[in-house]
């Protein structure tokens, strides 16, 4: 199995490895199906940008590191309900949010590596909610790296899940302000979680919004959420490969984000997820098969020989580029 852009899909060589859902979260196309060209156009009209497929070159790649899809879809539903409650100025179902935070925390704590499902693998109507779930999963992985305790992780999870809740609240103010004011009315949500919504667009150099605070004035949870938010947007909305998104984050160190947190994030999230087709420094094409210990030094399999190599054991062998098959430039 591997993740591809929808433009790369070939109905003669690929079949779906994961279902495609409609805007009501119902299965539109089941795993194991091929996609007729007319259906493919419909998916593009739904703003679906990514697909999980099985094909010859990804044979044997299970992507066990991928977040559990039923858990992810259930999380999207809970976040959607929270946004709908905010839209009519109704208090949140705190129990559902807390239960979801606990479930995501469990998902992160039991795995060494967790790879998100791009929010743009869903219909446009669900992407905002899927984005929130992904930001929470990314933030929790960084929180785990920082060895935050359970209570801290819970506050971080709830803050990240609801960081964009202000987009559902009526009014002319910036969504960070609307979100903060709305969350403060929900007494069972901690002030720290509310500040994640308030501060996640602040920048380390003081040029962010809404208050232009800087450096350590920005709460650590909000900085974590800001990094996760930028990374998820780069991947899902802008179609930037993970390794390039990492480079963009590094370039923003001590400008938009704390350099320490960016470095930790890069050491926590894989730059080359399993299923990524790559060009190696020896000129050969390969596919990433799994990640064992080192986030940036995965196992790869040469496409020409099927030989599998651990890059952690071959320090002189480097990934130099995403290959043409991955980038979609093979027509």
Mean pLDDT of the chain: 94
What was the pLDDT predicted at 292? 87
Mean pLDDT, range 300-323, rounded to an integer: 94
Mean pLDDT, range 36-49, rounded to an integer: 96
Residue 318 has pLDDT above 80, yes or no: yes
What was the pLDDT predicted at 283? 95
Model confidence band, residue 294 (pLDDT cutoffs 50, 70, 90)? confident
Beta-carbon count within 10 A of 197 CB: 30
Residue 118 structure tokens: 């791009």
Model confidence band, residue 273 (pLDDT cutoffs 50, 70, 90)? very high
What was the pLDDT predicted at 324? 55
CATH code reported for the domain at 2-58: 3.90.105.10
Q: Which tops the pLDDT comparison, 292 or 94? A: 94
Give the percent of the chain with pLDDT over 90: 92
Q: Where are the alpha helices (DSSP H) in 186-258?
A: 191-199, 220-236, 242-251
* CATH-assigned architecture of domain 69-266: Orthogonal Bundle (1.10)
Residue 217 has pLDDT above 80, yes or no: yes
DSSP character at residue 116: P
Contact 110, 223 (CB under 8 A): no
Residue 13 structure tokens: 């060589």
Q: Where are the alpha helices (DSSP H) in the chain?
A: 37-45, 69-87, 94-109, 124-145, 150-161, 175-185, 191-199, 220-236, 242-251, 259-266, 324-327
Residue 329 has pLDDT above 50, yes or no: no
What's this model's pTM, rounded to 2 decimal places? 0.95
Domain map (residue ranges) of the chain: 2-58, 69-266, 277-327
pLDDT digits (tens, 9 = 90+) for 108-151: 999 888 999 999 999 999 999 999 999 999 999 999 999 999 99
Model confidence band, residue 7 (pLDDT cutoffs 50, 70, 90)? very high
């Amino acid at each position: 199995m591997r993740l591809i852009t929808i433009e790369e899909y070939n109905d003669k060589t690929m079949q779906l490895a994961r279902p495609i859902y409609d805007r009501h979260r119902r299965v539109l196309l089941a795993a194991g199906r091929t996609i007729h060209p007319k259906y493919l156009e419909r998916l593009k009209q739904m703003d679906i940008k990514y697909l999980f497929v099985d094909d010859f070159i990804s044979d044997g790649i299970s992507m066990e590191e991928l977040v559990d899809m039923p858990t992810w879809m259930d999380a999207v539903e809970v976040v959607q309900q929270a946004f709908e409650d905010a839209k009519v100025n109704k208090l949140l179902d705190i129990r559902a949010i807390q239960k979801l935070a606990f479930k995501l925390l469990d998902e992160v704590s039991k795995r060494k590596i967790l790879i998100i499902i791009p929010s743009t693998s869903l219909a446009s109507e669900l992407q905002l909610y899927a984005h929130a779930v992904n930001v929470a999963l990314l933030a929790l992985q960084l929180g785990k790296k920082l060895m935050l305790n359970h209570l801290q992780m819970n506050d971080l999870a709830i803050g990240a899940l609801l960081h964009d809740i202000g987009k559902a609240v009526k009014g002319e103010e910036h969504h960070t302000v609307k979100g903060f004011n709305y969350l403060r009315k929900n007494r069972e949500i901690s002030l720290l979680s509310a500040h994640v919504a308030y501060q996640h667009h602040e920048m380390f150099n003081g040029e962010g919004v809404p208050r232009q605070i800087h450096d350590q004035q920005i709460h650590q949870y909000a900085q974590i959420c800001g990094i996760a938010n930028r990374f998820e947007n780069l991947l899902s909305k802008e179609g930037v490969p993970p390794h390039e998104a990492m480079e963009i984050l590094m370039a923003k160190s001590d400008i938009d984000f704390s350099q320490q947190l960016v470095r930790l994030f890069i050491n926590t999230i894989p730059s080359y997820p399993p299923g990524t087709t790559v060009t190696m420094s020896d000129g050969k094409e390969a596919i990433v098969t799994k990640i064992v210990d080192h986030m940036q030094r995965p196992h790869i399999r040469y496409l020409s020989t099927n030989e599998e190599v651990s890059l952690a054991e071959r320090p002189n062998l480097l990934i130099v580029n995403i290959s043409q098959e991955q980038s979609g430039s093979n027509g």
